Amino acid sequence: MFRLIFVRAISVVPVILIVATLIFLLLRLSSGDPATLMAGDTASAEAIENMRRSLGLDKPLGVQYVIWLGELLQFNLGNSILTGQPVSEMIAKRLEPTFMLALSVIMLTIVVAVPLGVVAARYHRTWVDRFVMAISVAGYSLPAFVIGYILILTFSLGLNLFPVQGYVSPTEDFWQFVQHMILPAITLAIVMIALIARVTRSSMLEILGEDFIRTARAKGNSERRVVWRHALPNAAVPVITVIGISVATIISGVVVTESVFNIPGLGRLTIDAIMSRDYPLVQGIILFFSFVYVGINLLVDILYVLVDPRIRY
């Protein structure tokens, strides 16, 4: 098992290198000149050239890449073009709201989606199954920003139950944190719940038709024990896979959701960096999200080994 985990961890290195290279090329080859943006519209050609030289943009693309990669290997993401602050410090300041939102979404998704899928499979071809699938299709069809505005209109402006926007740290006021986090978490979780519930249902239906399930029932086990103790663990691998993939949905949804609910996290910081063409900041944020996603995939591989011993062989 440890050898398998070690091999999986080593395979992450080239993936990160490829992702970093693609990010560097995409941003450098895009239209626009950050030196012109920083110098201002009224700046002379000489001032713009001096700005390009100070930013290192006058060097050939290959040289820029080697310098940037060397700094990256030293965990130096550079400084923001606009603020001059270290990119790592700017990311660290905005990390808590995004992390707490993502954690809330994952917990809410697992708690709601997996039982929904199990219940739909348990009562296959009944009104319960059809109701769960109808909700899943509806939730998966709506964009996150539409769901967010509907929740704001209904529960904030209409019923006045939750705050419209903002973020409060749980260390400052936990109850205020919960109130501010409920609507954003539901906004992001609805799409994931719809997807994971359908996958859980499909995987459970396949497992419930296996011979060992019939054997468990023949031994006199209750249906609840058969479903939750025997069927669900064997159906967990596809569910874990989809949960890991859904992290990409969270990463992309955070940008939109934080803008809708005015949460000062990495999503808002990403939009600000892109609008100002702050190359080091954009690179740092995208690299951070990429590392998180690669790390989640590595964690999913490890969970495979723990959940299903057959994968070790």
Give the pLDDT score at 196.
Answer: 87
pLDDT tens digit sequence for 123-156? 888 888 888 888 888 777 777 778 888 888 888 8
Shortest CA distance to 113 belongs to which of 186, 19, 198, 193? 193
- Residue 270 and residue 287: Cα distance in Å, rounded? 12
Q: What is the pTM of this model?
A: 0.76
At the topology level of CATH, where does 96-308 sit?
A: MetI-like fold (1.10.3720)
- Residue 264 and residue 268: Cα distance in Å, rounded? 6
pLDDT tens digit sequence for 1-32? 677 777 777 777 788 888 888 877 776 666 66
Give the pLDDT score at 38.
Answer: 62
Shortest CA distance to 139 belongs to which of 162, 166, 118, 116? 116
SS3 86: strand
In degrees and rounded to multiples of 5, residue 79 shows phi and psi of: -115, 150
pLDDT tens digit sequence for 41-89? 666 777 777 777 766 777 777 787 888 788 777 777 777 877 778 888 8
> Which residues, 6 or more positions from 99, have their beta carbon under 8 angstroms from its beta carbon?
none
Shortest CA distance to 296 belongs to which of 258, 234, 236, 248? 248
Average of per-residue pLDDT across 223-249: 79
Give the pLDDT score at 217.
Answer: 82
Give the pLDDT score at 36.
Answer: 67
Angle at 112 between CA 177 and CA 254, to 5 degrees: 50
Average of per-residue pLDDT across 260-278: 81
- Residue 307 and residue 97: Cα distance in Å, rounded? 31
- Residue 89 and residue 170: Cα distance in Å, rounded? 21
For residue 37, what pLDDT band results from cuts at 50, 70 and 90?
Answer: low
Average of per-residue pLDDT across 246-263: 77
User: For the chain, what are the domain ranges?
Assistant: 2-73, 96-308
